[in-house]
Protein backbone atom coordinates (compact mmCIF):
# COMPACT_ATOMS: atom_id res chain seq x y z
CA UNK A 1 0.00 0.00 0.00
CA UNK A 2 1.31 3.43 -0.92
CA UNK A 3 1.46 5.85 1.97
CA UNK A 4 0.18 9.40 1.70
CA UNK A 5 3.72 10.75 1.76
CA UNK A 6 4.83 8.35 -0.97
CA UNK A 7 1.78 9.24 -3.06
CA UNK A 8 2.61 12.93 -2.76
CA UNK A 9 6.22 12.26 -3.75
CA UNK A 10 5.15 10.26 -6.81
CA UNK A 11 2.61 12.86 -7.78
CA UNK A 12 5.21 15.60 -7.40
CA UNK A 13 7.65 13.59 -9.51
CA UNK A 14 5.07 13.13 -12.25
CA UNK A 15 4.23 16.80 -12.12
CA UNK A 16 7.89 17.68 -12.42
CA UNK A 17 8.25 15.29 -15.33
CA UNK A 18 5.31 16.48 -17.37
CA UNK A 19 4.44 20.01 -16.23
CA UNK A 20 6.64 22.54 -18.01
CA UNK A 21 5.92 25.33 -15.58
CA UNK A 22 6.94 23.09 -12.71
CA UNK A 23 10.14 21.99 -14.42
CA UNK A 24 11.13 25.54 -15.27
CA UNK A 25 10.35 26.72 -11.75
CA UNK A 26 12.43 23.89 -10.28
CA UNK A 27 15.35 24.60 -12.59
CA UNK A 28 15.32 28.29 -11.71
CA UNK A 29 15.42 27.20 -8.07
CA UNK A 30 18.57 25.19 -8.95
CA UNK A 31 16.87 21.86 -8.31
CA UNK A 32 19.52 19.33 -9.37
CA UNK A 33 17.08 16.42 -9.16
CA UNK A 34 14.73 18.09 -11.62
CA UNK A 35 17.64 18.83 -13.91
CA UNK A 36 18.80 15.22 -13.71
CA UNK A 37 15.33 13.91 -14.49
CA UNK A 38 15.02 16.26 -17.44
CA UNK A 39 18.40 15.13 -18.74
CA UNK A 40 17.55 11.42 -18.42
CA UNK A 41 14.20 11.90 -20.14
CA UNK A 42 15.45 13.84 -23.14
CA UNK A 43 19.10 12.91 -23.64
CA UNK A 44 18.68 9.92 -25.96
CA UNK A 45 16.01 11.40 -28.29
CA UNK A 46 17.95 14.68 -28.45
CA UNK A 47 21.16 12.80 -29.20
CA UNK A 48 19.41 10.95 -32.02
CA UNK A 49 18.03 14.24 -33.31
CA UNK A 50 21.50 15.83 -33.33
CA UNK A 51 22.94 12.73 -34.99
CA UNK A 52 20.47 13.10 -37.86
CA UNK A 53 22.30 16.33 -38.73
CA UNK A 54 25.95 15.77 -37.84
CA UNK A 55 26.18 11.99 -38.47
CA UNK A 56 28.73 11.56 -35.67
CA UNK A 57 27.70 9.89 -32.43
CA UNK A 58 30.31 11.54 -30.21
CA UNK A 59 29.65 14.97 -31.68
CA UNK A 60 25.89 14.48 -31.25
CA UNK A 61 26.40 13.62 -27.56
CA UNK A 62 28.66 16.66 -27.10
CA UNK A 63 26.02 18.91 -28.65
CA UNK A 64 23.28 17.67 -26.30
CA UNK A 65 25.53 17.96 -23.25
CA UNK A 66 26.45 21.49 -24.29
CA UNK A 67 22.78 22.45 -24.54
CA UNK A 68 21.98 21.07 -21.08
CA UNK A 69 24.97 22.81 -19.52
CA UNK A 70 23.94 26.05 -21.19
CA UNK A 71 20.38 25.58 -19.92
CA UNK A 72 21.63 25.07 -16.36
CA UNK A 73 24.02 28.03 -16.49
CA UNK A 74 21.55 30.49 -18.03
CA UNK A 75 18.19 29.25 -16.72
CA UNK A 76 17.52 32.40 -14.69
CA UNK A 77 17.80 34.59 -17.78
CA UNK A 78 15.78 32.39 -20.14
CA UNK A 79 12.17 33.06 -21.08
CA UNK A 80 10.18 30.13 -22.43
CA UNK A 81 7.45 30.92 -24.93
CA UNK A 82 6.65 27.25 -25.47
CA UNK A 83 7.45 23.88 -23.89
CA UNK A 84 10.79 22.94 -22.38
CA UNK A 85 11.04 20.11 -24.92
CA UNK A 86 10.50 22.54 -27.80
CA UNK A 87 13.24 24.76 -26.39
CA UNK A 88 15.66 21.82 -26.15
CA UNK A 89 14.98 20.60 -29.67
CA UNK A 90 15.32 24.10 -31.08
CA UNK A 91 18.60 24.60 -29.20
CA UNK A 92 19.97 21.25 -30.41
CA UNK A 93 18.95 22.12 -33.96
CA UNK A 94 20.79 25.46 -33.84
CA UNK A 95 23.86 23.96 -32.19
CA UNK A 96 23.94 21.17 -34.79
CA UNK A 97 23.87 23.73 -37.60
CA UNK A 98 26.70 25.62 -35.90
CA UNK A 99 28.70 22.40 -35.65
CA UNK A 100 28.15 21.74 -39.34
CA UNK A 101 29.23 25.29 -40.15
CA UNK A 102 32.45 24.83 -38.17
CA UNK A 103 33.10 21.60 -40.06
CA UNK A 104 32.47 23.42 -43.34
CA UNK A 105 34.97 26.12 -42.35
CA UNK A 106 37.63 23.52 -41.58
CA UNK A 107 37.01 21.73 -44.88
CA UNK A 108 37.01 24.98 -46.85
CA UNK A 109 40.25 25.94 -45.19
CA UNK A 110 41.83 22.61 -46.11
CA UNK A 111 40.49 22.81 -49.68
CA UNK A 112 41.98 26.26 -50.10
CA UNK A 113 45.39 25.10 -48.99
CA UNK A 114 45.16 22.11 -51.31
CA UNK A 115 44.22 24.32 -54.28
CA UNK A 116 47.14 26.66 -53.66
CA UNK A 117 49.59 23.78 -53.69
CA UNK A 118 48.09 21.60 -56.43
CA UNK A 119 50.30 23.01 -59.23
CA UNK A 120 53.49 22.26 -57.34
CA UNK A 121 55.35 19.00 -57.51
CA UNK A 122 54.13 16.33 -55.14
CA UNK A 123 57.45 15.90 -53.39
CA UNK A 124 58.24 15.17 -49.77
CA UNK A 125 59.43 18.74 -49.38
CA UNK A 126 56.21 20.20 -50.75
CA UNK A 127 54.10 17.90 -48.62
CA UNK A 128 55.97 19.01 -45.53
CA UNK A 129 55.56 22.62 -46.62
CA UNK A 130 51.81 22.16 -47.05
CA UNK A 131 51.39 20.57 -43.64
CA UNK A 132 53.50 23.27 -42.01
CA UNK A 133 51.58 26.05 -43.75
CA UNK A 134 48.27 24.50 -42.72
CA UNK A 135 49.41 24.13 -39.13
CA UNK A 136 50.74 27.67 -38.88
CA UNK A 137 47.78 29.26 -40.62
CA UNK A 138 45.32 27.39 -38.42
CA UNK A 139 47.25 28.46 -35.33
CA UNK A 140 47.45 32.05 -36.56
CA UNK A 141 43.69 32.21 -37.23
CA UNK A 142 42.93 30.67 -33.81
CA UNK A 143 45.17 33.30 -32.18
CA UNK A 144 43.20 36.18 -33.70
CA UNK A 145 40.94 38.12 -31.31
CA UNK A 146 37.46 36.58 -31.29
CA UNK A 147 35.71 39.26 -33.35
CA UNK A 148 38.60 39.40 -35.82
CA UNK A 149 38.54 35.64 -36.24
CA UNK A 150 34.77 35.49 -36.73
CA UNK A 151 34.75 38.26 -39.33
CA UNK A 152 37.73 36.77 -41.18
CA UNK A 153 36.10 33.33 -41.37
CA UNK A 154 32.74 34.73 -42.49
CA UNK A 155 34.45 36.76 -45.21
CA UNK A 156 37.03 34.24 -46.47
CA UNK A 157 35.27 30.92 -45.95
CA UNK A 158 31.58 31.84 -46.06
CA UNK A 159 32.02 34.43 -48.85
CA UNK A 160 29.85 36.98 -47.04
CA UNK A 161 30.00 40.65 -47.99
CA UNK A 162 30.98 43.17 -45.34
CA UNK A 163 27.42 44.49 -45.22
CA UNK A 164 26.04 40.99 -44.59
CA UNK A 165 28.64 40.31 -41.92
CA UNK A 166 27.73 43.55 -40.20
CA UNK A 167 24.03 42.66 -40.24
CA UNK A 168 24.70 39.15 -38.92
CA UNK A 169 26.93 40.36 -36.08
CA UNK A 170 25.04 43.57 -35.33
CA UNK A 171 28.00 45.86 -36.07
CA UNK A 172 28.73 48.57 -38.62
CA UNK A 173 30.36 47.98 -41.99
CA UNK A 174 33.19 50.26 -40.86
CA UNK A 175 33.84 47.99 -37.89
CA UNK A 176 33.88 44.96 -40.20
CA UNK A 177 36.41 46.70 -42.48
CA UNK A 178 38.61 47.65 -39.54
CA UNK A 179 38.51 44.15 -38.06
CA UNK A 180 39.32 42.54 -41.43
CA UNK A 181 42.26 44.89 -41.87
CA UNK A 182 43.45 43.99 -38.40
CA UNK A 183 43.06 40.26 -39.10
CA UNK A 184 45.04 40.45 -42.35
CA UNK A 185 47.79 42.47 -40.71
CA UNK A 186 48.11 39.96 -37.85
CA UNK A 187 48.11 36.98 -40.21
CA UNK A 188 50.77 38.52 -42.46
CA UNK A 189 52.98 39.19 -39.44
CA UNK A 190 52.51 35.66 -38.08
CA UNK A 191 53.10 33.98 -41.45
CA UNK A 192 55.75 36.21 -42.98
CA UNK A 193 57.67 33.26 -44.45
CA UNK A 194 54.58 32.27 -46.45
CA UNK A 195 53.79 35.84 -47.46
CA UNK A 196 53.82 35.35 -51.28
CA UNK A 197 51.32 32.49 -51.04
CA UNK A 198 49.17 34.40 -48.57
CA UNK A 199 49.18 37.52 -50.75
CA UNK A 200 47.97 35.42 -53.67
CA UNK A 201 45.14 34.10 -51.50
CA UNK A 202 44.08 37.53 -50.32
CA UNK A 203 44.12 38.92 -53.87
CA UNK A 204 41.97 36.06 -55.18
CA UNK A 205 39.31 36.34 -52.45
DSSP string over 31-73: -HHHHHHHHHHHHHHHHHHHHHHH--HHHHHHHHHHHHHHHHH
Q: What is the mean pLDDT of residues 21-47?
A: 87
- The stretch 192-200 carries a mean pLDDT of 64
Q: Is the CB of residue 49 less than 8 Å from the CB of residue 92?
A: yes
Q: What is the pLDDT of residues 103-154, one digit of tens each?
A: 777 666 666 666 656 655 556 666 666 677 778 878 888 888 888 888 888 8
Give me the pLDDT at residue 204, please. 47
- Look at residue 112 in the predicted model and tell me its pLDDT: 65
Annotate the chain with DSSP letters as a single string: ---HHHHHHHHHHHHHHH-HHHHHHHHHTT-HHHHHHHHHHHHHHHHHHHHHHH--HHHHHHHHHHHHHHHHHHGGG---SS-HHHHHHHHHHHHHHHHHHHHHHHHHHHHHHHHHHTTS---HHHHHHHHHHHHHHHHHHHTS-HHHHHHHHHHHTS---HHHHHHHHT--HHHHHHHHHHHHHHHHHHTGGGHHHHHHHHHH-
Identify the pLDDT of residue 109. Answer: 62
If you average pLDDT over residues 25-29, what whole number do you get?
84
Confidence of residue 10 (pLDDT cuts 50, 70, 90): very low
Higher per-residue confidence, 200 vs 138: 138
Name the segment(s) of the chain with CATH classification 1.10.10.10.
120-204
Q: How far is CA 86 from CA 16, 29, 50, 51, 90, in A?
A: 16, 21, 14, 17, 6
Q: State the average pLDDT over residues 2-26.
A: 52
Q: Taking the CB of residue 50, how many other CB atoms lie within 10 A of it?
A: 26
Give me the percent of the chain exceeding a pLDDT of 70. 72
What is the CATH topology of the domain spanning 4-100?
Rna Polymerase Sigma Factor; Chain: A (1.10.1740)
Options 1.10.10.10, 1.10.10.410, 3.40.50.1100, 1.20.1740.10; CATH for 120-204 is 1.10.10.10
Average pLDDT over residues 80-99: 86
Domain with CATH 1.10.1740.10 in the chain: 4-100
Q: Are 185 and 144 in contact (CB under 8 A)?
A: no
Per-residue b or e along 13-37, where b marks 16 or more CB atoms closer than 10 Å to that residue's CB: eeebeeeeebbbebbeeebeebbeb
Amino acid sequence: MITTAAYKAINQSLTMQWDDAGIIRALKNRDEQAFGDLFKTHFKPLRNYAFSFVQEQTLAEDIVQTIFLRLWDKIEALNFSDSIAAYLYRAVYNESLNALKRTKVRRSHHSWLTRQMKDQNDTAHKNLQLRELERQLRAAINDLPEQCRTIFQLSRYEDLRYRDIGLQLGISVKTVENQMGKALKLLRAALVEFLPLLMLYFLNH
